[in-house]
Chains A and B, each alone.
Chain A
Amino acid sequence: MSQRTLPRLMQTPAVLLLLVWMLVPLGMTIFFSFIRYVLNNLRKPEWTTPSIDNWRGFGNYEYVLYKSKDFWFAVQNSVFIVGSIIVLTVALGLAIAVLINRSFPGRGMVRVLLISPFFVMPAVNAVLWINMLLDPVLGLNGLIVNGLNGVIDGLRDFPLLGNFFSFWPELQPISFRATQTSAYAVIVMVTWQWTPFAILIFMTSLQSEDQQQKEAAILDGASAWSQFVNLTIPHLARPIAIVIMIQAIFHLSLYAEIEIVSRGNGNKNLPYLIGEFASNNIGAASATGIFAVILANIVAIFLLRIIGKSLMD
């Protein structure tokens, strides 16, 4: 066997499996996106079986782009959610990684506590946050606001001081199931889950930072902030890029959280919109799916430009 054959053979199973895993469903999706295909239609029962006779050309694409009012909203919302999560996790991850990059009592325990959210099943994460923490009546959110209102009410009865507090309004808990806020609920819960991932990577990377360089900077009288900006951030460039890439991959296909928080009410992303179409109109769902693939590819090309260079060094 030649030098090159064996390595190729070793890669073949993985490549073939992924190729089948990608091409078969993708091929079917492309086919369905060009035909009329619905699951239930009493007037046109012939549309309920996938067949080349029901060819619709780009009709499904036009329907999704022009007739469905949710499409552009879903695209924007997908980007908004992924972008917000990435910004928050990177910022929080950096701050916390720097915070725990020193020795102090119980550092190991702090690390264990901080990592834990990353292991939580996403479905549990969503159920836990939207019901028990963010619910405006029965969750901790509602209970705390009620408690605060109770305290303020009590203060109103005081002489003199009470006059001041009687000007205070009753506090209202924020409902995260409302249309405008459900995206925030999703962002909060996913940020909670993925910040530990960012912390982990940044923390490991900080440990390999050049200490001599830092000491030299201190001797030169550099402030802590300028050390952070001029030495630490450049050192962390690659880890930050990796954190962004991995998270973009995972969060573009966010689904369970969207569904559990508001059943997509006011807060659809592309995968969720596809799921909604797919309850009946497979043609439209498939066309949306192709759009989602295009969006993912745009993001992927953009990201891999950044990562790809340093990948092989």
Chain B
Amino acid sequence: MVAVVNKSTFSKVFWPVLAWTVAIVFFFPIFWMVLTSFKTDADAVKPEHLIVFTPTLENYLNMIENYDFWRFAKNSVITSLFATTFTLFVGVPAAYAMAFNPSRHTKDILIWMLSTKMLPAAAVLYPMTFLTKNILGLFDTHFLIIIVLSLINLPIVIWMLFTYFKEIPKEIIEAGKMDGVSIWGEIKDIVLPLAWGGLASTALLCFIFCWNEAYWTVRLTTIDAATLSKLIEGNRAPEGLFFGRLSAVSTAAVGPIVVLGWFCQKQLVQGLTFGAVK
């Protein structure tokens, strides 16, 4: 009996402490980045100022004054928002049809869609640049970035939505059909309320992927449509220099998304399973 009690007190203390330790280790790099963003560039690399230092907003003020931060931020918001909207606009009907009226080819279509994500972007970079610059004249426009972001996320979005819609019992839809509800009525009155959580988490994930995208947004823009990832790209080069400045730019670029993720954590946890959990 004694041994059992000992064991349970041990595991009552040990496992939570271990869990907290792991969590802190995982979060540490982000904490470190935020902390460094309040140090001057000189302080950031001095061992004696590792923890103890005089906090300064210099890096943030500098970023806003000299790097045109708000323009990059505005572009990120615009492109991510519109791309998410457009992706859902195209993706919801497609996923709906696949989940409720599957045909022999539905599985193949889904798999093919996902496989388009495996095309190496670098292989088509040159054709894309050539096409958008010389033929379509869309290079460095919001429109182009929105379309590209939508297309790279469309397969994942359809996949996620498909797995949600599939969870909705078919009988409910059948009952609706009996009552003579139209297909749009079905979507609006029956499916959407049931799939609301799934839709929200899909939208959120799509927004996060758009915001974080750094291949096309860097290479298909120069100034007008350049997003925050381009700002990071431009600030990263010199090794070991400007840690303070770098951290401030990074914190500003990552902060909104991380905080958004925290608030929507519950939905994401439910949603981010790609149909893995029954």
Which residue numbers of A lie inside 8 Å of B, CB to CB?
A: 3-4, 6-8, 10-11, 13-15, 17-18, 21-22, 24-26, 28-29, 32, 96, 99-100, 102, 104-107, 109-124, 127-129, 131-133, 135, 137-140, 143, 146-147, 177, 192, 195-197, 200-201, 203-205, 208, 238-239, 241-243, 246, 249-250, 252-253, 255-256, 260, 270-272, 274-275, 278, 282, 285-286, 288-290, 292-293, 296-297, 299-300, 304, 308, 311-312
Do B239 and A131 have beta carbons less than 8 Å apart?
yes
Q: How large is the interface on B (under 10, 10 to 19, 20 to 34, 35 or more residues)?
A: 35 or more
What is the number of contacts between chain A and chain B, taking CB atoms within 8 Å? Answer: 297
A285 to B254, CA, bound (A): 33
A217 to B261, CA, bound (A): 38
Known: A121-B254, A128-B33. A200 touches B268 (CB 8 A): yes
Interface membership of B117, Cβ < 8 A: yes
26 residue pairs A–B, Cβ–Cβ below 8 Å: A11-B97, A13-B93, A14-B90, A14-B158, A18-B155, A22-B116, A25-B131, A32-B126, A107-B19, A110-B20, A112-B265, A116-B27, A117-B29, A119-B257, A122-B212, A123-B212, A133-B29, A135-B239, A201-B276, A204-B276, A249-B118, A292-B122, A293-B123, A297-B118, A304-B111, A312-B107
Select from chain B the residue with minimum beta-carbon distance to A1.
B183
Would you list the 3 A-B pairs with minimal beta carbon distance, nearest first?
A: A289-B123, A25-B124, A28-B127
CB of A236, distance to nearest CB on chain B (Å):
9
Q: Which residues of A contact B119 (CB under 8 A)?
A: 22, 25-26, 293, 296
Main secondary structure of the interface of A (DSSP, over half): helix
* Further 15 A-B residue pairs, CB within 8 A, beyond A3-B101, A177-B239, A311-B275: A10-B96, A10-B97, A11-B93, A100-B19, A111-B265, A113-B27, A119-B254, A123-B233, A127-B246, A128-B32, A132-B32, A192-B29, A204-B269, A242-B276, A311-B107
Do B257 and A10 have beta carbons less than 8 Å apart?
no
Do B109 and A99 have beta carbons less than 8 Å apart?
no
Select from chain B the residue with minimum beta-carbon distance to A139.
B240
Select from chain B the residue with minimum beta-carbon distance to A16.
B90
Interface membership of B60, Cβ < 8 A: no
Which residue numbers of B lie inside 8 Å of A, CB to CB?
A: 15-16, 18-20, 22-24, 26-27, 29-30, 32-33, 36, 45, 47, 50, 90-91, 93-94, 96-98, 100-103, 106-107, 109-111, 113-128, 130-131, 150-151, 154-155, 158, 183, 208, 211-212, 214-215, 228-229, 232-233, 236, 239-240, 243, 246-247, 250, 253-254, 257-258, 260-262, 265, 268-270, 272-278
